[in-house]
Every structure is written in structure tokens, then in C-alpha cells.
Amino acid sequence: MTLKLALYGLITIASTIGVISSAFRSYSNFYAVVVYLSNSNGASLILGNFALFTGLCIGKVIQKVLFGELRTLEIEHLYERSWYGFTEMILAMTMFRDDFDLFYGLMFGFLFFVKVFHWLCHDRMEYMVQYQNASRLFVIRMSVVLAGLLLADISLLSVCIFDIYINGVTMIILFASEYAILLADAVTSTVRFGVNLVDLRSGQAWEEKSLYLLYIDLFSDFWKLCIYTAFFGVMAASFGLPLNLIRDLVITARSFTMRVKDLQRYKSATQNMDRLYKAATVAELDAMSDRLCIICRDDLVHASQHPGPWPSGLDETPKKLPCAHIFHRHCLKSWLERQQTCPTCRTSVIPSAHTETNESRRGATREAPRPEPRRQDQQREAARDPSSESRTSGASTSATPTGSGEASATTSSHAGRFSSSSTSRMSGTSAAMQQHPMSRLLHIPSVTLPIIRPESRSLPSTYWRDMYRNAARATTSNIPSIVTSDVSTEATTAETVPLPPSPPASTPQSGLSVDTRLSSLLDAQSNINKAIEDLVDVVKDTNKRDRRSSDGDKTATDADTKRARID
């Protein structure tokens, strides 16, 4: 790398010296030389290259002094962002009809130069957080960098705005917006730096920090969004739709709305933590197979057994969620900042949202028992979990108390959830059993035949068998009631409680001839058969015997009724 740079530098310097000396040889006075150098394309190209090299060298020196050695990640990011930044700038410039002259060239170069340091600064912030580095050298370097960046951004932004004020909207507005964004970045970085510094120097954990950081990001996004919108508006008004900006605008807007939502959810989940989630009692802690917080894998200790402040400085009160899983308060809080669900079983922890989802789930089952396959998957998963655990523990003897206890906790929670959801499923499917169209056709009142949908095939097979039995019993017991006598109708309805009296249309008093009744009966018979075929499709494997016997019953009773009619 350095060798390449040295080679490049050598070539650049040599070519520059060559051009200048040849110019001095051909022209007598200094003025003529300058005119030649600025007019000749080749000469300006070489001089531009020289300027680039100088910029590179200055950048390198600043980097060495203020950043030290760059990490591989930083270099990678630098290349990546350079590409993006460069192409986006070039794209943006196509919007303008100004000449791209020396002034803009310099502005462009300088903007790029400043941007690179913003990116580096951003990466250094991450580094600071990740490696807990707040050494004196690092702090001094970062302070200088941040101050320099802020100064550069502010002064250049004001220069740009002044220029717009004097000359109206030109390409300079592009630079103005870029510097405004960079200023937002620099301010955010500075505040973040301050927050991190306070956090690291205090030596104690700072619980409210994540909230502050969230606010900082929110503010930064808001600022950026404003700048983008303003710039977008100005551009659209004076030049046309700035296509290159749409991406940035959308990304920033989305990130902003996400952050607002996050903040809302965060607030709702964490603000009332003490009210919503009770502290676990000693008995509850004792009942746990392993007294570990699943998030940090540290022991859970009841406040009464631990007098004085918590050693880590964080609030380690064990807190119990509505689903009975227990975590450290601060661990739980940091998780709830991201996900408002229980880490172990993923039930929602926000009470209102919890009941809401239950409601919606029930609604969904009423419409069509759709979540069934998922539940079965879950059950299978739960069944597989312990097996995989045992298999692996057999292989690796990794069944430490934590591992196995955790696994059992997970599976039991799975099972617990399954049972609760299965009750809701039952109630849901009973609602799904609407009156089958066939029952109307047959004038069999309110025989609750299930409407078969492909999704519901995964119901327990016994469920279908029972359904089918009931339906078959109801139909077979009803058919004689249609044709025999009123007395038997009364009898059957009394026998099968949910059946209201059969409608008068098909009773013998209707005065139809024997033939029409017989044909309608046969029609009904074929309909029943069809419906039964449907059912049988679903439960083919489980109840062949049932089918045979009930079919036999039916044909027997049918034969009886036919004979009775003919008589």
C-alpha cells in the first residue's frame, strides 16, 4: 500500500515538475507560464493529479496523527462508502446545468475529504463502544477530530448559504445540503461521544443511557429528514425532480418512523415495568430448576437475600413476566427495548397487546382455522427439542445444569402454550361449524356439519371421527323421522337434544305422492352419500370401520323406510 502510494507520488511529482519546467523553458515570463498551465488541458490534468496527491498526503497525515492505525473494518467501510458517496455525488451533479469548473472541483474534493473523516469518526465511535476504549490519547484525538469536523461543517455550511443568498440557487445548494447532513452527523457523534465518555468514565452502568441514545438517534434522523425534505423541495421547485435523493429521503423517513415506533413501544413496555411486572418472590425463585437469568446467564437473587446495592450497579431485582418467566430487571428492560415479548416463550408482555392478539387470533380461527398447521409444527418442534437436546448431550456431555434446565423450561413453556392455545382452538372451531348447506337441503335442522376447508385437515383425527359419528347418527336418526310418523319425529328430537323439531315440509301431511317423496328421499340419500364421501376423504385412515358400520345401519334403515312407504 505504502509502496504503491510512494510510486504514485513519485510519478505525480515527476510529471508535475516536468510540466512546470517545460512551461518555464518555453515561456519567458511568469505570467505567460501561468496562462499556459491553466489553459492547456494536459497541464491542468497533471496539476489536478498533483492536487489530488497532495490531498491524499494531507489526509494520510491527519489520519496518522488523529486516528492512528486504521482497523481493517474501517478501511473496508471507507472503500465501500467512498464508492457510494462518489457515485451519488456524480449523479446529483447531473441535475445542475452549471459548468463544472475549478471552483466546484475544489469544493467537491474538499467535501469528499471532510466526508471521509466523518465516516472514520463514525466507525471510531463504534470502536469506542465495542472496545470500551476511553484512554486519554483516544479522548484527546476524538475531541480534536470532532471539534475540527464541527468547525469545518459549520463554516462551510455558512459559506454555502451565504453564496446561495448572494447568487441564488446554483450547484452550491448541493454542497449546502451535504454539509448540513454532515453537521447533523458530527453533532450526533459529538453527543454520542459525550454520552459514551460519561458512561465509561463513571465506571458504573448507566441504565438510562439506551434511552438517551434512542433520543439522540431520533433527533438526528429528524434533522436529516428535515434537511432532505427542504433540499428536495428546493430542488424540485427550481430544477426538477431530484431522482437521486428519493432513496435517501425514503431511507431516512423510514428509519425515523421506525425510531418513533420503537420509542413508543419502548415507553409502553418499560415505563410501567414495576407496575406491570411483579418482583419474583423467594418461593418462586426456589421453584426454578436453575436460578439463572436466561439473558445474562447470571444468578437471580431475591432482594431480601442481597442487602445493599447490586454489585454491578444495575437493578438486578428478579422480575416476573405474565408468562411466569423470571429475569433481572435490567436484562429484561434492555430486551424489552427491542422486543416486547418474553425472551423465553415469546408471549407478548404488553397486557393490552396481549389480549388484542388473543382476540384477533380467535377471530382468525372463526373465519378459517388457519393457524392449525403452525400449532402442529410447534408441537412437533416441542417434541423434537428434548430429543435433539438429549441426542446432543449424549454426544457432547454438554448437559450442564443450565443447558438441560433451560431446555426443560423451554419445552414446558411450549407445552403450556400449546395447551392454552388448543383450548382457544376448540372454541374457535365450534364457531367454525356453521350450518352445513346440506342440512338445509335435507331439512335436517341444525345438524352441525363442519365445513371442510383444506387448512382444517390437520385437526386431530379423533375430532373428525367424533364429528362424523355425530353427523352420521343425526342424519340416520333423522331420515326415518322425515318419512315415518310425527310421533317418531318427536321421539328423535327429544332424544337428540340440540335438534329442534323437523320442518313440516317433509312430514307426511304435506300431501305429496309416494313417488315424489321417494325420489326426494333418494336425492337426499345421494346427497348424504356425497357428504359422507367428503368426510371419509378426510378421515379415511382412521375410521374405516365406522364408515362400514354406519353405512350398513343406514342402508338397513333406508330399506326399512322404503318398505314402509311402499306398504
Q: Between residues 66 and 314, which has the closer beta carbon with respect to other proteins?
A: 314
Q: Between residues 37 and 399, which has the closer beta carbon with respect to other proteins?
A: 399
Q: Are 139 and 198 within 8 A, CB to CB?
A: no
- How many C-beta atoms surround the C-beta of residue 230 within 10 A? 14
Q: How far is the CB of 200 from other proteins (least distance, A)?
A: 7
For residue 417 the three cell numbers come to 402454550
Residue 527's Cβ-count burial label (10 Å; 0-12, 13-18, 19+) is: middle
Q: How far is the CB of 443 from other proteins (least distance, A)?
A: 45
Alpha helices in 397-513 (DSSP H): 401-432, 437-442, 461-483, 486-495
For residue 12 the three cell numbers come to 505525480
- DSSP per position, 350-393: SHHHHHHHHHHHHHHHHH--TTHHHHHHHHHHHHHHHHHHHHHH
Q: In 3D, which of 298, 357, 355 has the Cα closest to residue 332?
A: 298
Q: How far is the CB of 319 from other proteins (least distance, A)?
A: 14
Q: How far is the CB of 180 from other proteins (least distance, A)?
A: 29
Q: How far is the CB of 69 from other proteins (least distance, A)?
A: 16
Instruction: Give the type of residue at 268.
Output: S
Q: Which helix (H) or strand (E) holds 320?
A: strand 318-320
> In angstroms, rounded to a whole number, what is the distance separating the alpha carbons of residues 505 and 171?
87
Cα–Cα distance list, 517 to 446, 476, 513, 563 (Å): 22, 17, 6, 13
> In angstroms, rounded to a whole number, what is the distance separating the alpha carbons of residues 108 and 103?
9
For residue 130 the three cell numbers come to 465495542
Q: How far is the CB of 283 from other proteins (least distance, A)?
A: 24
Q: How far is the CB of 127 from other proteins (least distance, A)?
A: 10
Q: How far is the CB of 392 from other proteins (least distance, A)?
A: 5
Q: Between residues 76 and 523, which has the closer beta carbon with respect to other proteins?
A: 76
Q: Between residues 155 and 312, which has the closer beta carbon with respect to other proteins?
A: 312
> In angstroms, rounded to a whole number, what is the distance separating the alpha carbons of residues 43 and 46?
5
Q: Between residues 74 and 199, which has the closer beta carbon with respect to other proteins?
A: 199
Q: Between residues 39 and 397, which has the closer beta carbon with respect to other proteins?
A: 397
Q: Between residues 209 and 306, which has the closer beta carbon with respect to other proteins?
A: 209
Q: How far is the CB of 399 from other proteins (least distance, A)?
A: 9
Strand partners, 327: 319
Q: Between residues 281 and 312, which has the closer beta carbon with respect to other proteins?
A: 312
Q: How far is the CB of 237 from other proteins (least distance, A)?
A: 34
Q: Between residues 178 and 199, which has the closer beta carbon with respect to other proteins?
A: 199
Q: In 3D, which of 549, 505, 539 has the Cα closest to residue 524?
A: 505
Residue 53 zone, left/alpha/beta (φ > 0; ψ -120 to 50; rest): alpha
Q: Between residues 413 and 543, which has the closer beta carbon with respect to other proteins?
A: 413
Q: How far is the CB of 349 from other proteins (least distance, A)?
A: 13
Q: Which helix (H) or strand (E) holds 482?
A: helix 461-483
> In angstroms, rounded to a whole number, what is the distance separating the alpha carbons of residues 139 and 194?
10
Q: How far is the CB of 294 from other proteins (least distance, A)?
A: 5
Residues 6+ apart with CB under 8 A from 109: 51, 52, 55
Q: In 3D, which of 418, 419, 393, 407 has the Cα closest to residue 289?
A: 407
Q: Between residues 123 and 199, which has the closer beta carbon with respect to other proteins?
A: 199
For residue 69 the three cell numbers come to 492505525
Q: In 3D, which of 421, 398, 458 has the Cα closest to residue 345?
A: 421
Q: Between residues 192 and 224, which has the closer beta carbon with respect to other proteins?
A: 192
Using CB under 8 A as the criterion, which residues of the chain lie in contact with other proteins when the complex forms? 126, 129-132, 196, 199-200, 205-207, 209-210, 294-298, 312, 314, 330-331, 334-335, 338-339, 341, 343-344, 346, 374, 378, 381, 388, 392, 395-398, 400, 402-403, 406, 410
> In angstroms, rounded to a whole number, what is the distance separating the alpha carbons of residues 410 and 418?
12
Cα–Cα distance list, 434 to 276, 387, 447, 449, 503 (Å): 40, 40, 9, 7, 19
Q: Are 380 and 466 within 8 A, CB to CB?
A: no
Q: How far is the CB of 148 from other proteins (least distance, A)?
A: 25
Q: Between residues 158 and 312, which has the closer beta carbon with respect to other proteins?
A: 312
